Amino acid sequence: MSTGHILLGLLTERPKHGYELKREHDERLPGAKPLAYGQVYATLQRLQRDGKVAVTGTAQESGPERTVYEITGEGTADVRRWLTETERPAPYVSSPLFARVVLALVTEGSAEEYLLRQRAAHLDRMRELTARRGAAGASAGEVLAADYALHHLDADLRWIETARQRIDELTKEIRS
Amino acid sequence: MSTLEARQIEKAFGRAHALRGLSATIEPGEVVAITGPSGAGKSTLLHCLSGIMRPETGEVHYAGQRIDTLDEAARTKLRREHFGIVFQFGRLVPELTAAENVALPLLFERHGREEAMTVARAWLEEAGATEVADARPPELSGGQLQRVAVARALVTGPKVIFADEPTGALDSVSGERVLSLLLAAARRGNATVVIVTHDNQVAAYADREIVLRDGVTMGVPA
């Protein structure tokens, strides 16, 4: 996750201070891990050093005085470039689920129990997300975040079902 | 008292054993998903629980009454009076309009035509399908067909709603709408819901899942 690009993207709307950027990040990416204040200010300092944002003044509402940042031409070009790039699909299978299945076969000789338990855990989480998505007053961003998480959990569950069907093959390979 | 109970039921089609001594209970007001891979026996279990078919051995109980020993006519009466069923692709009568399809279960119960049509139109409105009330099934999209099928299943105020792959032919957003509609109506009427699905995102709407594999249930190990 590129925090710098996300902050730059939020600054394309208008100049903002760090607290505002943190709040908007958490609101607009509702399923994401909330940004720590320290991370926001460290990132802004780096962006300022690289000439992508500049201090435009200070703002004081009810709390302390806050530094307001604006995006520079270089910053705008950088965020636009980032949006034209694609994420590289993960080159390695590094899922803990996959590792647990293989290790369950190696140490226990069967992954069936693990797969059943993991399915139940995934479905519990999917129930929470489904309820959250359907709750009255859920924002479009929250619905989209829940959809994203649900589709990924669903992909895991479909892999779990495939794994259950292939497990005999895998067991023979490990034992040979 | 459980709403539905299967005790050691077995059902075979020729040499293929669809259910092998399966036992399951479903409590009042529960939303239960029956899941599992193709050929696991999901639809056969739904057909046995809803009285559409009878198991060869074992017992099926509804609200404390044994139903697998009832004859065809008594099971049909039970389904009409207590159950609502939604199938994949709707299974509507193609010659009738959407409103007439929804009114059909009421006409079977000897309600007057005018009253039945008024209630049917109210349910179509509830299902967000008012605009297709006078259209015939071949003119409807997949999502519209399922909305009409849901309205038809709910029109008699059933105690149990059975749904066999209700969103199988729909994209995920249309499926979500149909399912939300079905479950909201079921909750308002305190109905029990049994959904057969191979779709995990549908199963996530249920309070609990019964996982089938090779005709038996798979319990989650402690």
Asked if B200 lies within 8 A of A154 by C-beta distance, the reply is yes
Between B95 and B169, residue with greater pLDDT: B95
What is the H or E stretch that residue B215 is in? Answer: none
Report the phi/psi class of residue B174: left, alpha or beta, with left for phi > 0 and alpha for psi in -120 to 50.
alpha
Which of B201, B205, B220 comes nearest A116 by C-beta?
B220
Count interface pairs A-B at CB distance under 8 A.
Answer: 38
Tell me, yes or no, if B204 comes closer than 8 A to chain A by beta carbon: yes
Name the phi and psi angles at A73, rounded to 5: -60, -40
* Residue B163: pLDDT over 80: yes
pLDDT tens profile A132-146:
998 888 899 999 999
H or E element in which residue B124 lies: helix B113-126
Residue B221 is predicted with a pLDDT of 64
Q: Contact B204/A123, CB-based, under 8 Å?
A: yes
Give the tokens for residue B24.
Answer: 């399951």
Instruction: Tell me the nearest-neighbour CA distance from A27 into chain B, angstroms.
Output: 23
CA–CA distance from A154 to each of A129, B47, B108 (Å)?
A: 12, 27, 41
What integer pLDDT is reported at residue A23 of this predicted model?
A: 93
Span of A49-58, A166-175, B197-206 with lowest mean pLDDT? A166-175
Distance CA B131, CA B112 (A): 23
What per-residue confidence (pLDDT) applies to A163? 85
Token readout for A148 is 């994203």
DSSP B56-118: SEEEEEETTEE-TTS-HHHHHHHHHHHEEEEETT----TTS-HHHHHHHHHHHTT--HHHHHH
pTM: 0.81
Residue of A nearest to B200 (CA): A154
Interface test with A, best of B195, B205, B220 (most A CBs within 10 A): B220
Closest CA to A119 of B175, B211, B207: B211
8 Å CB contact between B40 and B214? yes
Residue B86 backbone phi and psi in degrees, to 5: -115, 125
Cβ <8 Å between A119 and B205: no
Compute the residue count for chain B. Answer: 222
Three-state DSSP string of A99-133: HHHHHHHHHHCCCHHHHHHHHHHHHHHHHHHHHHH
Share of chain A above pLDDT 70, in %: 98
Q: What is the ipTM of this complex?
A: 0.80
pLDDT at A94 over 80: no
B202 closest CA partner among B37, B34, B86, B83: B34
Top pLDDT among A61 and B204 is at B204
Partner residues linked to A55 by β-bridges: A69
**What are the two backbone dihedrals, phi and then psi, of residue A158, each rounded to the nearest 5 degrees?**
-65, -35
Spatial separation of the C-alpha atoms in residues B10 and B17, rounded to whole Å: 8
Q: What is the residue whose two structure tokens read 């995990």?
A: B200
For residue range A70-85, list pLDDT tens digits in order: 999 999 999 999 998 8
Residues B4-18 have a mean pLDDT of: 92
> Which residue, chain included where needed, has tokens 């829940």?
A146
Residue A91 has pLDDT above 70, yes or no: no
Kindly report the backbone phi and psi dihedral angles of residue B104, in degrees, each rounded to the nearest multiple of 5, phi listed first: -50, -50
Backbone φ and ψ for B134, nearest 5 degrees, come out as -100, 5
Residues B47-75: what's their mean pLDDT?
A: 96
CB contact under 8 Å between B204 and A158, yes or no, is no
Residues 44 through 83 of chain A touching chain B, CB cutoff 8 Å: none
The predicted pLDDT at position B73 comes to: 94
Identify all chain A residues contacting B200, using CB atoms and an 8 Å cutoff: 122-123, 126, 153-154, 157-158
* Helices A37-49 & A3-11 angle (0-180, nearest 10): 80
- On the question of pLDDT at A164 being above 90, the answer is no
Closest CA to B25 of B196, B205, B206, B194: B194
- The pLDDT of B58-85, averaged and rounded, is 95
Q: What is the pLDDT of residues B88-147, one digit of tens each?
A: 877 899 999 999 999 999 988 878 889 999 999 999 998 888 999 999 999 998 888 989
pLDDT at B222 over 70: no
Determine the residue among B200, B202, B217, B218 to mutate to test chain A binding: the one whose Cβ has the most chain A Cβ atoms within 10 Å: B200
Cross-chain Cβ contact B203/A154 below 8 Å: no
Q: How far is CA B49 from the centre of its chain?
A: 10
Question: Which of the four pLDDT bands, split at 50, 70 and 90, describes residue A167?
Answer: confident
Predicted local confidence at residue A106, as pLDDT? 81
Indicate the pLDDT class of residue A47, thresholds 50, 70 and 90.
very high
